Every structure is written in C-alpha cells, then in structure tokens.
Amino acid sequence: MDEVPFFDTEVAGSQISASKEQRRRSAVMRAGLEVFAEKGFHLASMDDIAERAGVSKPILYQHFSSKNELYLGILDERVDAIVQQVRSAIESASTNKSRLESAIGCYFNLIDDADLGYRLIFESDFTMNHDVRARVEDVVSQVSRIVGAEVSKQTGMSLGEANILAGGLSGMAQAAAWRWLRLGRPISMELAISQTLDLAWNGLASIQSKEVSPEAEVLHLEDRIS
C-alpha cells in the first residue's frame, strides 16, 4: 500500500517565505500529534507542543489560536489521510477478494502505524467533544461509503443494502486490528489479516478447529446449560 504523506509540506508557487511557514506549520502539527497521543488532550499543553516542535509560543499561536483548534486541525488532516488510504487500497486491487483483503490490511496498517493517527481519532480522551465526535463519525461514514460503493458495483445490490454490509465489514476489520494490537501482536500481521479475510469472505464455517480440547468441550457444555 502506498504511503500517504504525513502533513503536506508542498506549497504552490515559489515564494520561499510561504514554504517556510508551511514547513513550520507542519512541524507544529507533527509535534501536536505526538504530544496529544502520548498525554491525551487534557494533559497536553501548548508549552509541551511548542517545545516539541522547536518553536516559541508566539509562533505556535500564529498558526493555531488554541489547543482545541490545533487538535481539530490535526484530526482533519489524519481523517483525510485515512480515507485516502482506504480508497487507494481498494482501487489498486483487481478482484473482489483482493479488494476486501486490501481494505482489511489497511486497517491493520493504520492501527500499527507509528504516526499515531489512528489512536488520535479512535482512542482519544477528547472523543466526547462534539466537534471531535463529528469527525470520528465522518471517517467511519466515508470509509463505509467507499466500501459500500464497491460492494454495490460488484454485486448489483442497492447502495442501502451494500452500505449495511460495508459497515459490518469495516467494523470487523477495525475491531480485529484493534484487538490484535491490544493482545501484543501475538501473530504476524500477515496471518492476522489472512484470518480476518477468511472470516469475512467465508463466514464462521471457514474457522474450524482441527482438534477440540476437553476444556473447550466443558466450556461449550456450560454455555448450553446456561
């Protein structure tokens, strides 16, 4: 999957001063992402971010008037990057199964990515803020629409039907990737993607244990009794 640039530093035209300002803004946003991901929104301070970016506070406030504005600016940039990554992953694949695999792989790569963008969007201590919540819901909706449009095109389903399936597939991929990370990456990413793909493509019938342990049989019996 092609890497999406982290905070665009390209500026149209040849004005050196404009390019310098854009690079400085990019450095501030990088620093903000790191500090917000490490400390959370509430514990992070503009002093922390200015120090991390290597700029003075007056310069920092020239670009962002408040911590809230900086956070939302970073969030918007990361949302756009995630949506573009998913779109590119699906468009670069040639078969339905490979498109699904690419979409699932995108989630695993995003959650494993060292740029911390996924954490900022989905795991922030600031997600209950109305503006932040709207952006989180927007990225979920955009990704579902991208996947849904492809499902509709390949199956002939209505967009409404396809979007329901797309929401389920996207949710499965996101939850599987999150769990894989939280368990400490117990298996390789490639195997985790492959297993999630098998489940999504073939259903639970594709996940069969070669040998059932006595402990598993007892648990199954307890489930039926309860």
Query: Are 143 and 82 in contact, with CB atoms under 8 Å apart?
Result: yes
* CA 176, 178, 184, 187 torsion-angle sign: positive
Question: Which residues are CB-neighbours of 29 under 8 A, at least 6 positions away?
Answer: 7, 70, 73, 74, 77
Domains identified in the chain, total number: 1
| 11 domain residue, yes or no | no
| 211 domain residue, yes or no | no
Query: Are 84 and 67 in contact, with CB atoms under 8 Å apart?
Result: no
Q: Nearest to residue 59, comparing CAs of 78, 31, 37, 82?
A: 31
Tell me, what's the pLDDT at 85? 84
Q: Nearest to residue 71, comparing CAs of 108, 46, 101, 103?
A: 46
Distance CA 128, CA 124 (A): 9
Tell me, what's the pLDDT at 124? 73
CATH of the domain at 42: 1.10.357.10
Q: Which residues of 122-161 are buried (b: 16+ CB within 10 A; e: fewer)?
A: bebebeebeebeebbeebbebbbbbbbbbbbeeeeeeeee
DSSP class of residue 114?
A: T
Q: From residue 36, how far is each of 13, 74, 102 by CA, in Å?
A: 32, 10, 29
Tell me, what's the pLDDT at 116? 65
| 194 domain residue, yes or no | yes
| 4 domain residue, yes or no | no
| 57 domain residue, yes or no | yes
Tell me, what's the pLDDT at 114? 53
Distance CA 166, CA 161 (A): 9
Query: Are 65 and 100 in contact, with CB atoms under 8 Å apart?
Result: no
Parent domain of 60: 16-206
Residues of the chain under the 70 pLDDT cut:
1-18, 113-117, 204-226
| 218 domain residue, yes or no | no
Q: Nearest to residue 179, comparing CAs of 79, 112, 87?
A: 112
| 212 domain residue, yes or no | no
Listed in sequence order, the DSSP H helices in the chain are 16-39, 46-53, 57-63, 67-91, 96-112, 117-122, 130-155, 159-182, 189-202, 214-225
Q: Write the single-letter amino acid at 123.
A: E
| 9 domain residue, yes or no | no
Query: Are 71 and 36 in contact, with CB atoms under 8 Å apart?
Result: yes
